[in-house]
Amino acid sequence: MDDAGASYRRLLSARADGGPFEAAGGGNGDLPDTDVAVASLIDGVRYLEERLGKYAEPEVLAELVGGAEHGLRVISGKDDGAFDRHDLAGLEAVVHSDGTRPVFFVEDDFIDVLNPAAATHAAALSRVSAAVRAACSAVGRVVDPSSALGFRGTAWAIGDGIVATNFHVLKAIAVGAARPDGRFVGELKPDVAVDFGGEVGGSGPDGRRFPVHRVLGVGSEGAPERASTTLEDVNFDGLDLAILELEPVDGQDFPAPVAVARGDDPATHGALASKGRSVYVVGFPGNPKSTTADVFGRLFAGVAGVKRLAPGTLAAGRGDVPGDDRRWVIAHDASTLGGSSGSPVIDLETDGRAVLGAHFAGAPDRTNWAHSLEGASDELAEIVPGW
């Protein structure tokens, strides 16, 4: 079994053992019954059809069901065949639909509680609903009219009229973007903006779009020899962050910034982002350049770039990620795609408010990485006003 298969087995067996947030440390129990898993997948698709007012592509649905059935047989040891992309897409559809690692539409700054997969997560999210709503309202998509989808990634309010995103997202919305000696050089493209709306069906308040005014600062590049040889723009020695200032718009208020976990917090000593901690990620998945199957995008062609929330756990805390000598990378297992770049990874425990990290990359084995803001506090202090 390859790494991707092992990841899906861990997630699904932990779900069968006792709950959606038990996957970080293992999952050695039985896998879900194939018929039950496929039924959940189909129920989830039918719900989305009703919610969106459009039908799923029948060939894609049949392909996903077949992939789910075969993929479950392989990870259970009942079939010694190799995985293909159909199996991985089918297993991804299962973890979305059965409540293991779902992806919820955000509506009026909260999750779509009628989604069948919400049953296992609604209580935890509702307990801190005010914090979740505040976080969702502070997350926006990075608008680029020149791109095929019209957006490039995700940003979130870290200060008054100030947002954080990834440097590789900034590279996509700027001409000649580079960061020699930790300084930004380049020119923003015309009409780039951050839209804090973008909910499915246009729900949520209007007037949430602000032009990007300038780049306040960027994270350090990292030693070139430390860059990944297999994943573009991934270098654990560098800090894949950019801080942007937005232009005010008459009659519109900037969203309130979210709280950030800091490395110099005397209450947590920079150790809040620990392995096994429950988190949620808010962003705009949907970019076709993704290492994980875009199940939703294939089923419902043309519906992309809407705000979604994905719960999960931290698979590795600060200092636990191999190759992270700077201790500013953490790993999580929430469902993400291209377009999720820059998304805040938010603590779901305690009061549900603190941003623990900024998602920047994922691998084909379903590993996701984020920059620990506790680990990056010193660099953020140099580029975020009032930090």
**How many residues appear in the chain?**
387
pLDDT per 10-residue tile (average), the chain, 387 residues: 81 67 54 92 92 89 94 89 84 91 92 89 95 98 92 96 98 97 96 94 73 98 92 94 98 96 93 96 75 70 79 96 96 86 95 95 87 97 90
Say how far apart CA 125 and CA 139 lie, in whole Å: 17
Q: CB of 160 within 8 A of CB of 257? A: yes
Q: In this predicted model, what pLDDT tens digit does every residue of 152-187 receive, in sequence order?
A: 999 999 999 999 999 999 999 999 999 998 999 999
Say how far apart CA 336 and CA 328 lie, in whole Å: 20
Domain spanning 124-383, CATH architecture? Beta Barrel (2.40)
Q: What is the pLDDT of residue 332?
A: 96
How open is the CA angle 260-265-266, to the nearest 5 degrees?
160
Q: What is the pLDDT of residue 366?
A: 82
Q: What is the pLDDT of residue 20?
A: 47
Say how far apart CA 118 and CA 103 lie, in whole Å: 9
Q: Which residues contact 365 (CB under 8 A, 6 or more apart)?
A: 2, 3, 4, 6, 7
* Delimiting residues of CATH 2.40.10.120 domain(s) in the chain: 124-383
Sign of CA dihedral 211, 217, 223, 228: negative
Say how far apart CA 309 and CA 3 lie, in whole Å: 25
Q: CB of 149 within 8 A of CB of 266? A: no
Q: Please give the structure tokens belonging to residue 12.
A: 């699904």
The alpha helices in the chain, defined as continuous H runs, are 3-17, 34-52, 58-75, 85-97, 122-127, 129-137, 167-172, 295-299, 377-383
